[in-house]
Structure 1
Amino acid sequence: MNEDAAGPVGASRGSVAARERSRTRGGQVARGGVDASFATGTRGLTNARTRLVGDRTGPVADGLVLVVRVAGGVRRVTSRGVTVVSGVVTPVGWAMLVAAPVGLAAGLVLGWQELLVIGWAAVVMLLVAAVYLIGRNAFTVELHLPHERVAVGDDASGSVTVQNPTRRRLLGVSVEVPVGVGLAELGLPGLRAGESLTETFSVPTTRRGVVRVGPVRTVRGDAVGLVRRELEWTGVTELFVHPRTIGIASSSTGLIRDLEGNPTRDLSPSDISFHALREYQPGDERRNIHWRSTAKTGTYMVRQFEESRRSHVVIALSVARDDFAGDDEFELAVSVTGSLGVRAIRDAREVSVVVGERTPEFAKRKVLAVRELSTLTRNRLLDDLAVVERDESALRIDDVARVSSTQVPGVSVAFLVVGSSTTLTAMRAAALQFPLGVEAVAVVCDPESVPGMVRVADLTVLTVGYLDDLALSLARAAAT
């Protein structure tokens, strides 16, 4: 009877132990205090590998991925070679290269004088065009941008100065300046000895990002247009187009743990803000004994304080494509993040601005990590925000909050900046990732909605339709 009963019990205990060992192996804590099984899971992963083979592993799946990657590399190398050659020979030049041998060969075989004339004419044109590729102009070219950083919508321009340092007159030349994805073409006349000329051009700032200006190049080619030779004279200058930001009142939203702010509800045996008196307990410091109350009660009484700590604000911006309904919402979210971060930097508060990392295209597992933007200065933060883009394989806001809660210690206020596609359940799940006592504020960026504020348990949800609504929403949240 006991043996029969012990059998199932022993088996059950063995299975429980096996499950515990499996859970221990599979749930080892990864770097940063995050569950490794969660960090390497495939749930919600979308990249090139998952589109090819899904969650399959093994030699067949790895071989298919390898073939695709090799084919992509060959295609890129071939494309670069074709680009270099096509940068010198124009489509008309390629036509002449084909017409010359074909015309000569067909004329000799068929005995047609007309084809021979066409072939030799093409040869002469190619030889004359090759002469234009010889030599180098003795220009001095300088590129100048008056500003390195501008906001979206601001006017921005650049200038190109071409000087003739020689003692002879130089012929006119065509100057091209790549500006982002566009091209500024400047036609400069001939310059006498020692003469210089400056031409200006505009730089588009309609969208946030980094606009690469240059290199300035001069273009030489024949009159027919068979070849063109480009000579680069300057390097590439970058113009940072920052997201638009607004000024926010220097007031605390929610619980700010700071010596110059509001104390917390946590009690401490030694601090600044006095709370109450209590009886002495073993381990209390004697310097905190209140001797006047001790004399009245006949029992040792010690002071008790409300804990006040240095505030640490975390601003988590979701860059997952599924968290936003469109580009307008994401641009608004970037502006909201910049406005909050700039205000915290100006107030000299400790602030961390984080975005979710993306999973590489051919990774087998989801990467659970966040990237912390620079908050050393206002410009450094806005420089990093200028290049932030949405990504299909980036972490959702709940994953970003989970990693941030483990990597950023002493958080007092957490701002979760998301779009209209993020559900309230996901925002609450993200808020619950932070320790108790952390004030969580979700900012939903939706240009199609009316601004408002909703309080759900320990989470404050602010809906922002325009960037100017942020200051009013924060003031209302602080008042409540």
Structure 2
Amino acid sequence: MNVDTSLPQDTADAKAARRESRRRRRSSGPTDPRGGAPAPQGAVQGDGENPEAEPTGAARIRSRLARLWRRRIRPVLGVVSPIGWAVLGVAVAAWTAGLLLHVTELNVLALVLTVPLVIAAAFVLGRANYRVTLDLQSHRVVVGTRAVGRVEVANPTQRLILPSRIELAVGAATAQFLVPRLAPEQTHEELFAVPTRRRAVLVVGPVRSVRDDPLSLMRRQVTWARSQELYVHPRTVRLDEAASGFLRDLEGTPSSDLSSSDIAFHALRDYVPGDDRRHVHWRTTARTGKLMVRQFEETRRSHVVVALDDLRDHYSGEDEFELAVSAAASISAQTFREEKELTAFTVTANQRTAAYRPLMDDYTELELRAGRQGLHELGQKAADLAPNASAVMLVVGAHATARELNAAATQLPLGVLAVAIRCVDGAEVRRSAIGGLDVVTLGALDDLPKALRAVGR
């Protein structure tokens, strides 16, 4: 039998096959008209009735329109300044009214407004293919020193590039300099210096090339180099040996705990099985006739805590807070240089003490905060972070009261050397005491060594 020959449609076998096929379709559900496979339950039959087809197409259209707006339309509209839009609006209104009402004066006004717009468009037309490099000599400087950098503008093309203006953003300010006409493969370099009067994290950049007209109707700018961060570290003073003498302890701070091995000798005792033979005191053993070993007193390595109060209500102004930050940074830097264990923090933040650079970076980012936390929380945090501290330095503002200082001191562990440095702008160095807390008044950063020498007496 030829397989291409169709069966008669009116035979009994054909009718039975059609009935069996209809029964199978009813039992298995509706089928997809394009194939024959069962359609999913709840699917709507018919072309163009799939509920997912139309949203997918609409999403694609919206995506294309958004891309067109972002890449083509918005850059063009952004070229026109607010003044330019005002002039353009008046010109369009004057042209419309003049042509419809046949008023010659309006047509003349429209022409007068249109000519500057055309000239402004000629100023911003064209494209400059620069290669711009922004290079900072150092990304970290100290307050009072200048941060030096350079901007190099090169013409990597084989055609002449007309003069333009380059803008460099430095924090909230903007520096401008002119780039002359550049021949193919020619470069132009500009040096700049950023004055640093206050502690801050400055954003240097981006570098933009700007084209605009003399009337500032249109302005076209292109960004060529990304911004970079410049850390202006707080000013610090180096503490001499006399000033930091209260932190120096070759053998650490002795405690009342006894140990079989340390560097602080305490007494001799009888030998007990298990003691290290290296600690046997042979002269005493020979004299007494029995083994005697050295008994040591446990010591702790010097651990300095620098707690800086950053509550706005405790300071009379920004300059006083800057003095406090510089004092805390100076003590932290000295402790770090002497390779002693350091813990530095404020109520809301902890400074990184693993390396000098991140330590100063964290001090640079500190700001005054508004809140209700008192100094007792600063003392409690010192006790929690460094329960074995040997010295705690509390750096506070002029408005910190004696009650608050005493509350902070009561939170500290017993036996710790507690010193409060009270920063008062322009005050003379003087020393006082509140219970077991030494309080020194600091009026200028250069007086910090003198203030610490007063504590060490």
Looking at structure 1, the residues matched to 311 and 75 of structure 2 have their Cα atoms a distance apart, in angstroms, of 37
TM-score (norm 2): 0.74
Looking at structure 1, the residues matched to 329 and 337 of structure 2 have their Cα atoms a distance apart, in angstroms, of 12
SS of match in other structure, 1:274:
strand
1:317 maps to 308
Q: 1:232 Cα shift?
A: 0.7
Aligned pairs for 1:45-444 (under 5 A) are 88-108=79-99, 110-123=101-114, 125-126=116-117, 129-130=120-121, 133-250=124-241, 252=244, 254=246, 260-270=250-260, 271-276=262-267, 286=275, 304-357=295-348, 371-393=349-371, 395-444=373-422
Question: Deviations 1:108-162 (Å, cap 9, x if unpaired)?
Answer: 4543222133335545654554465554202222222222221111123322222
Contact 2:167-2:174 at 8 Å conserved across structures: yes
- State the structure with more CA Rg: 2
Contact 1:152-1:241 at 8 Å conserved across structures: yes
Question: Deviations 1:284-341 (Å, cap 9, x if unpaired)?
Answer: 9755787987999999987543321122211011111011111111111111111111
Looking at structure 2, the residues matched to 194 and 444 of structure 1 have their Cα atoms a distance apart, in angstroms, of 60
Relative distance call for 1:430 and 1:180 in structure 2 (3 A) is same
Which one scores higher on RCO, CA 8 angstroms, separation ≥ 6?
Answer: 1
Contact 2:375-2:407 at 8 Å conserved across structures: no
Relative distance call for 1:432 and 1:285 in structure 2 (3 A) is farther
Question: Any gaps of 5 or more consecutive residues in structure 1?
Answer: 1-82, 358-370
Looking at structure 2, the residues matched to 178 and 394 of structure 1 have their Cα atoms a distance apart, in angstroms, of 37
Contact 1:291-1:301 at 8 Å conserved across structures: yes
SS of match in other structure, 1:307:
strand
Looking at structure 2, the residues matched to 158 and 296 of structure 1 have their Cα atoms a distance apart, in angstroms, of 76
Looking at structure 2, the residues matched to 217 and 100 of structure 1 have their Cα atoms a distance apart, in angstroms, of 31
CA-atom RMSD, angstroms? 3.1
Looking at structure 1, the residues matched to 206 and 247 of structure 2 have their Cα atoms a distance apart, in angstroms, of 51
2:15 maps to none
TM-score (norm 1): 0.71
Looking at structure 2, the residues matched to 376 and 273 of structure 1 have their Cα atoms a distance apart, in angstroms, of 28
Contact 1:317-1:397 at 8 Å conserved across structures: no
2:29 maps to none
Q: 1:197 Cα shift?
A: 1.7
Contact 2:426-2:444 at 8 Å conserved across structures: no
Question: Deviations 1:347-385 (Å, cap 9, x if unpaired)?
Answer: 11110110122xxxxxxxxxxxxx211122222211211
Contact 2:427-2:444 at 8 Å conserved across structures: no
Amino acid at match of 1:268: L
1:42 maps to none
Q: 1:225 Cα shift?
A: 2.5
Looking at structure 2, the residues matched to 353 and 84 of structure 1 have their Cα atoms a distance apart, in angstroms, of 49
